[in-house]
Chains A and B, each alone.
Chain A
Amino acid sequence: KAGVTQTPRYLIKTRGQQVTLSCSPISGHRSVSWYQQTPGQGLQFLFEYFSETQRNKGNFPGRFSGRQFSNSRSEMNVSTLELGDSALYLCASSLLGQETYGYTFGSGTRLTVV
C-alpha cells in the first residue's frame, strides 16, 4: 500500500511569507502528527490531528497551525516565516493514534527560509 505522502518535497520561501505543507496519510489511517527536524533541536513534536480535531500540541508559537480534512489529509501552515523556521517538516500517520506505536513517517518537506 502507498506510504505517507508529503508535498512538496522542497520549498524555498522568503522571510515574512507564509507556507502550507501537505500530508496524505496511509489509507485508513485517521491520526496525523507533525514534527519539525532541525540540526539544532532535533525532532520536535508540533501537533496531532484525529478526525479533524487537534488532540495534542507541542511548544511552538501560534504561527504554526494545522488542520485535517474529512479524508484524513492534513495541512500545516507557518505564517510570517523566520529564518529559524528552516527545517525538515515530517508528518506521520497512524490508524488511531491512541498510542504511538505504528506511526509511519513520510519523507518530509524541506523548507528553506531566505
Chain B
Amino acid sequence: GESVGLHLPTLSVQEGDNSIINCAYSNSASDYFIWYKQESGKGPQFIIDIRSNMDKRQGQRVTVLLNKTVKHLSLQIAATQPGDSAVYFCAEDPNAGGTSYGKLTFGQGTILTVHP
C-alpha cells in the first residue's frame, strides 16, 4: 500500500527570538523524558532530559517543562540561533523502573527553522 509520510509540524522564527516546541506523549506511566535535536545527515543529539518527579528543568539556553496532567512536554530555546535549525524530537521511556533497556518512544518531531 501507499505510505504516507509524517507531516511534521514546523516552527519558523527569527534569530534572537525565543522558541517553544511542544510534544504530547502517550503513556501516563512514562517517568523519563528526553529532547533530542537532529540535524540533516546526523543522528539525534541529546539536549535535555527530565524525570516525572519534576515539572521544569533548565539547561544552557534550554528549558523543558513537563505537565503530567495533560501529558505534555515543551522545549523552550532562548535567543534562538541559526545553528538551532533542526528537527526536534521528544522521547519517552515507556517502562518506568529502568527495564526499558534502550527502548524509547519518539514523537513525530518538529522542524525548527531560524532565519538570520
Contacts and interface: CB of A to CB of B under 8 A. Distances in A.
Interface of A: 4, 31-33, 38-45, 48, 50, 55-56, 58, 84, 90, 92, 94, 97-108
Given A33-B103, A84-B3, A100-B93, A107 B44 contact: no
Contacts of B5: 39-40
B70 interface: no
A42 B3 contact: no
Interface of B: 3-6, 32, 34, 36, 41-46, 49, 89, 91, 93, 98-109
Contacts, number: 83
Contacts of A44: 106
Nearest to B97: A99
B46 A99 contact: no
A99 B32 contact: yes
Interface centre among A39, A99, A108 (most CB of B within 10 A): A99
